[in-house]
Amino acid sequence: MLDLNERFYFVEILKPLKLNSMRSYLSIFLVFVTFLFQAQTTVEDDFEGSGTITSWYGDDCGMDNTFANPFQTGINTSATVLEYTDSGGQYANVRFDVEANFDLSTNNTFSLKIYVPSSGITGSSPNQISLKLQDGTLAQPWVTQSEIIKPIVLNEWQTVTFDFENDNYINLSPSSPDPIARTDFNRVLLQVNGENNTSEVVAYIDDFLYDGTINIAPEPVFDNLVWSDEFDGNGAVN
């Protein structure tokens, strides 16, 4: 019996090789394709080229995820970081999507390093960073989001942790269940010094990490030939 993650595919490749008198040569192959069990992958980025997050996006703000670390000091002496530049965008944020949804029932913690220089701030918004989990497949991904807000200090690298089981969280919709009971989140959004303001903020982010893994389906492998016929005999193809 076939495993649920396996399928048969019949691939016909009709390839004229040459014409000789009134005869065409054709090749037909039968290929067995195996889909492996779902693979697990981490969700992390050190911005040094070895991370697994490939979809960073700056929304209403500038973003450079290959920026030379301007403050190689304290707990973070790495060479490259993500630069976040909010020039007054009302809903400025950086975000990324993952290929499969998070399962927060067992692993529910996200962490990162952040440095916010006081020279890059305007306005009177509280110094904070929020991490929002959303369903990126919705037309309005924020409607069912869950958010944790953490205070930050200026002019130093610090590690900030967001624990969706033990930290205070904010569900935008009161009808949304607790985050650890949900499996519909596939987007992570970071926002520095809040939204609904025109304050300017420059921040540097590094070493983003989710403490669990996500399950992703591997690409199918077309590498097991089970039957072929070159039709290279005499006479017409029957």
pLDDT tens string 127-175? 999 999 999 999 999 999 999 999 999 999 999 999 999 999 999 999 9
Where is average pLDDT lowest: 5-19, 25-39, 65-79, 104-118? Answer: 5-19
Dihedral, 73, 77, 79, 82 alpha carbons, nearest 10: -70
pLDDT digits (tens, 9 = 90+) for 60-106: 999 999 999 999 999 999 999 999 999 999 999 999 999 999 999 99
Give me the mean pLDDT over the 95-122 stretch.
96
Give me the mean pLDDT over the 32-37 stretch.
54
Residue 179: phi and psi, rounded to 5, are -55, -35
This prediction has a pTM of 0.77
The strands making up 128-134's β-sheet, listed across from edge to edge, are 57-59, 93-97, 187-192, 128-134, 146-151, 170-171
CA distance between the termini of the chain: 33
**pLDDT over 90 percentage in the chain:** 73
Q: Distance between CA atoms of 26 and 237, rounded to whole angstroms?
A: 9
Give me the mean pLDDT over the 39-49 stretch.
95
HSE of 107 in the Cβ direction (CA atoms, 13 Å)? 14
pLDDT band at 12 (very low <50, low <70, confident <90, very high): very low
